[in-house]
Amino acid sequence: MTEVKKIGILTGGGDCPGLNAVIRAVVYQATGYGWEVLGVRYGWKGMLNADAAPLTRHDVEEILPRGGTILKTSRTNPFKVEGGPQKVIDNAKKMGIDCLVAVGGEDTLGVANKLTKMGLNCVGVPKTIDNDLGATDYTFGYQTAVQIATDAMDRLHTTARSHDRVIVCEIMGRHAGWMATDAGTAASAHWIFIPEVKGSLNDCCDMIKKRYQRGDRYAIIAVSEGAEFSDFNVAEASKETDAFGHVKLGGVAKTLAKEIEKRTGCETREVVLGHTQRGGSPLAYDRILGTRLGRKAAEMIQCGQFAMMASLRGERVEPVPIEEAVKELKTVPQTYFQMASTFFG
Ligand code: F6P
């Protein structure tokens, strides 16, 4: 078994509330074992550039309520860089890193998964506001993002009602509609559109007209940035992709608002929550989940459980193979969405 003396930690992909909770927990647990911890800056980019500095308890003791990541992040994919994977492995050796904690979503952990097969010891921690990672009940950051979207829609209710308006609220989540479904339900949106279930814009417009006819002269429509429709085509806002091949989303609310106004005659506005959902202080839930996952990651290293990810399963935090987590996206099941749609109208 590898004798561990020094570990590295990096945060990759989109930031989210709770990353600092994980970093703090890893540092506390690892230094408790007597190990050194290196904070790698800018995700996998930092491993390509050997950009890292030691992290002590003193460095992390006050970061728990802070949003973002003190280590910074990037969407760098070493497998898209000539000789990148070997460079990461060589740099890990040079820096004396016995195991690397990769905190990220499907992209960051996908890289960790491939690198473990090339001989680099890695453990994973599941992060993303999208909640679309497999093999874990929840990712940290998700609950805070849902709360932000819920608060925003609560506010939209009062202004929409005052003006007799429809407001379309665009919610992040790429190809998974978890956030739109949960925040839409929590904020009693009158309709929700997500990528997994192609909803009908006609039905939504009929619902809006009915509301106005019966005197409820406003409506809140929650839409996932990657939503698809059974009877309406939204032209892709952009063809621009990141290093992992993801199309840059955003803009569906504007197109939808225009179309709803045209079809219903009701004055319609759009709001794009965008990166607001990733910013600010984590809820207590995400601080605790991040802390539990980070602590577990260090514990897994101590037990030699490499190529594994700390995962939330019911009440327990336990190791699962990273491979299992990145196998396929965890999307919203039809039955879950049916529950939410009971309250449309
Ligand atoms: O994966 C997290 C996420 O916030 C998605 O919901 C969103 O589509 C994407 O990142 C935005 O990425 P960027 O910060 O690169 O604009």
| Residue 68 beta carbon below 6 angstroms from any ligand 1 atom | no
Centroid of ligand 1 to alpha carbon of 18 (angstroms):
16
Q: Tokens 């690892």 label which residue? A: 30
| HEC assignment per residue over the chain | CCCCCEEEEEECCCCCCCHHHHHHHHHHHHHHCCCEEEEECCCHHHHHCCCEEECCHHHHCCCCCCCCCCCCCCCCCHHHCCCHHHHHHHHHHHHCCCEEEEEECHHHHHHHHHHHHCCCCEEEEEECCCCCCCCCCCCECHHHHHHHHHHHHHHHHHHHHHHCCEEEEEECCCCCCHHHHHHHHHCCCCEEECCCCCECHHHHHHHHHHHHHCCCCCEEEEEECCCCECCCCCCCCCCCECCCCCECCCCHHHHHHHHHHHHHCCCEEEEECHHHHHCCCCCHHHHHHHHHHHHHHHHHHHCCCCCEEEEEECCEEEEEEHHHHHCCCCCCCHHHHHHHHCCCC
How many angstroms is it from 90 CA to the middle of ligand 1?
30
**Nearest atom, ligand 1, residue 105 CA:** 1
Ligand 1 atom closest to residue 250's alpha carbon, by position in its atom list: 8
Query: Does residue 342 lie within any of the structural domains?
Result: no
Residue 337 lies in a domain: no
Residues 46 and 102 occupy one common structural domain: yes
What is the distance in A from the centroid of ligand 1 to the CA of 245? Answer: 12
Q: Which residue has the tokens 């207590």?
A: 284
In a shared domain, residues 123 and 224:
no
253 belongs to a structural domain: yes
Full strand arrangement of the beta sheet holding 99-104: 52-54, 36-40, 6-11, 99-104, 122-126, 308-313, 316-321
Cα of 14 vs centre of ligand 1, distance in Å, is 6
Least Cα distance to 51 among 81, 25, 71 occurs for 71
**Same domain for 175 and 192?**
yes
How much distance in Å is there from the Cα of 117 to the middle of ligand 1?
28
How far is the C-alpha of 285 from the C-alpha of 10, rounded, in Å? 22
Q: Are residues 162 and 267 in the same domain?
A: yes
pTM reported for the whole predicted model: 0.97
Judge if 222 and 305 occupy the same domain: no
Q: Show which of 278, 296, 312 is a domain's final residue.
A: 278
Indicate which atom in ligand 1 lies nearest the CA of residue 278.
4
For the chain, how many structural domains are there in total?
2
Look at residue 116 and tell me if it is in a domain.
yes
Cα–Cα distance for residue pair 140/25, rounded to 1 Å: 14
- Give the separation between CA 190 and CA 264, rounded to whole angstroms: 15
272 Cβ below 6 A of ligand 1: no
217 and 126, same structural domain? no
Say yes or no: CB of residue 273 within 6 Å of ligand 1: no
Instruction: Work out which ligand 1 atom sits closest to the CA atom of 242.
Output: 15
Is the beta carbon of 104 within 6 A of some atom in ligand 1?
A: no
Domain boundary among 245, 278, 311: 278
In the prediction, which pLDDT does 238 show? Answer: 64
Atom of ligand 1 nearest to the CA of 172: 6
Per-residue pLDDT of the chain (345 residues; tens, 9 = 90+): 679 999 999 999 999 999 999 999 999 999 999 999 999 999 999 999 999 999 999 999 999 999 999 999 999 999 999 999 999 999 999 999 999 999 999 999 999 999 999 999 999 999 999 999 999 999 999 999 999 999 999 999 999 999 999 999 999 999 999 999 999 999 999 999 999 999 999 999 999 999 999 999 999 999 999 999 999 998 755 678 899 999 889 899 999 999 999 999 999 999 999 999 999 999 999 999 999 999 999 999 999 999 999 999 999 999 999 999 999 999 999 999 999 999 999
Choosing from 15, 98, 107, 130, the catalytic residue is: 130
- One domain, residues 129 and 172: no
Residue at 341 is within a domain: no
Distance 174 CA to ligand 1 centre (A): 7
Q: Is residue 223 part of a domain?
A: yes
For residues 146 and 182, give the distance between their C-alpha atoms in angstroms, rounded to a whole number: 7
Amino acid 2: pLDDT: 73
Residues 11 and 136 placed together within one structural domain of the fold: yes
Residues 181, 302 share a domain: no
d(CA 190, CA 186): 11
Instruction: Please tell me whether residues 65 and 38 are part of one structural domain.
Output: yes
**End of a domain among 278, 293, 314?**
278
Query: Atom 12, ligand 1: which residue's CA is nearest?
Result: 14
Domain residue limits at 304: 6-140+282-325
Read off the CATH number of the domain in which 88 is found.
3.40.50.450
Question: Both 240 and 268 in a single domain?
Answer: yes
Residue bearing the CA closest to ligand 1, atom 2: 14
Residue 130 among the catalytic residues: yes
End-to-end C-alpha distance for the chain, whole angstroms: 60
For ligand 1, whether the C-beta of 128 sits within 6 Å is yes
Q: Residue 154's domain is classified under what CATH number?
A: 3.40.50.460
186 shares its domain with 269? yes
CB of residue 141 inside a 6 A radius of ligand 1? no
Q: Does a structural domain hold residue 330?
A: no
User: Residue 236: what pLDDT?
Assistant: 59
The CB of 268 under 6 Å from ligand 1? The reply is: no
Q: How confident is the model at residue 1, as a pLDDT? A: 65
Residue 262 placed within a domain:
yes
